[in-house]
Amino acid sequence: EDKVVQSPLSLVVHEGDTVTLNCSYEVTNFRSLLWYKQEKKAPTFLFMLTSSGIEKKSGRLSSILDKKELFSILNITATQTGDSAIYLCAVEPSNSGYALNFGKGTSLLVTP
């Protein structure tokens, strides 16, 4: 059975801290891994990772994939209160039309 496991499940940090969120997976026919941010509404897309070792970066957020060890990390540097959200990891199997397989998410709270 396909599994996507995120850790930690929740995290509280102070503004300015750097955080690392983890996502490991066991998925047959892996094609890509996606990260989403969710703030009390629908998830919004952050990154899609398909190749090992290539960092994707957007402002203070970055992510990398290790296909050999079957995990990905999402880094957020210089955190701000606006980064408070649930961060979801999802894996895309290669079967077209199959659904994204989501982890349980990491709930991040950034305090002033």
**Pick 9 or 78: Cβ nearer other proteins:** 9
Minimum separation from the CB atom of position 7 to other proteins (A): 13
Listing DSSP states for the chain in one string gives --EEEEE-SEEEEETT--EEEEEEEE-TTEEEEEEEEESSSS-EEEEEE-STTPPEEETTEEEEEETTTTEEEEEE-S--GGG-EEEEEEEEESSTTPPPEE---EEEEEE-
Minimum separation from the CB atom of position 23 to other proteins (A): 11
**Pick 15 or 26: Cβ nearer other proteins:** 26
Residues at the site binding other proteins, with contacts judged by CB under 8 A: 6, 9, 31-32, 34, 41-43, 45, 48, 50, 88, 90, 92, 96-105, 107
